[in-house]
Amino acid sequence: MPDAFQIPTANITGLLLAGGMGRRMGGADKGLIALDGVPMASRVLERLRPQVGPLLVNANRHLEQWRDYGLPVVSDEFGGFSGPLAGVHAGLLASTTPWLLTVPCDSPFFPDDLARRLAAALAVSGAQLAVARCEGRLQPVFALLRRELLPSLEAYLQGGGRKMETWFDQVGSIAVDFDDMAAFANINTPAELEQLGQR
């Protein structure tokens, strides 16, 4: 992609979304679970770090363990485990850069060019939010968005909205195609953890 289509990494805050309840994982904090002896969050952060400037963690439980990563930890302003958009909202509130890149804590193999490709699509389209898509399916927790979208997101959440795709449609997002579905595999159950470890 031409350099003119790129956002400097220093202008992108990376947000690790780890605020869920892990219901299908028996209530465990998924990012803190080890995959081949390494916490999944550590693997995700290793892949995320070169693509962004500052880093944030969105977490609502086990905050001291998350702080051990040496990164700012932000919790949802909207209580009751309101879903990933509440985490995005917390990240936008805390971000000091023009852009925010979101990734979940349970997808340790996401593309190492995620930020670059989303940024290039935004530069061409003029949109304010780009989201990954693979095999025709949106991957909504993998998104790059402008910090200026904070008031829109806050109004959507205050109105009871929770579905990411609905808000994306409201703000005129653009989908960016990726061709490796396995890269977006997330780990929701002990069986999936075992299968991915074997792979």
Span 138-176, pLDDT tens digits: 999 999 999 999 999 999 999 999 999 999 999 999 999
* pLDDT band, very low/low/confident/very high, at 195 (cuts 50, 70, 90): low
Q: What is the tens place of the pLDDT at every residue in 73-121?
A: 999 999 766 799 999 999 999 999 999 999 999 999 999 999 999 999 9
Rg (CA), the chain: 16
pLDDT of residue 186: 77
Which residues in 1-22 are b (16+ Cβ under 10 Å) and which e?
Answer: eeeeeebebeebbbbbbbbbeb
pLDDT above 70 for 24: no
Q: Which CATH class is domain 9-198?
A: alpha beta
For the chain, the structural domain boundaries read: 9-198
CA–CA distance, 140 with 85 (Å, rounded to integer) = 10
Do 124 and 5 meet the contact criterion of CB atoms below 8 Å apart? Answer: yes
Cβ-in-10-Å burial (0-12, 13-18, 19+) of 104 comes to: buried
Beta bridge partners of 100: 13, 145
CB proximity list for 62: less than 8 A, separation 6 or greater: 29, 32
CB proximity list for 144: less than 8 A, separation 6 or greater: 7, 12, 99, 100, 101, 102, 115, 118, 119, 122, 129, 130
CA–CA distance, 101 with 144 (Å, rounded to integer) = 4
Query: What are the phi and psi torsion angles at 140 (to 5°)?
Result: -65, -25
Query: What are the phi and psi torsion angles at 143 (to 5°)?
Result: -145, 150
CB proximity list for 26: less than 8 A, separation 6 or greater: 190
Q: What is the tens place of the pLDDT at every residue in 34-81?
A: 888 899 999 999 999 999 999 999 999 999 999 999 999 999 999 766
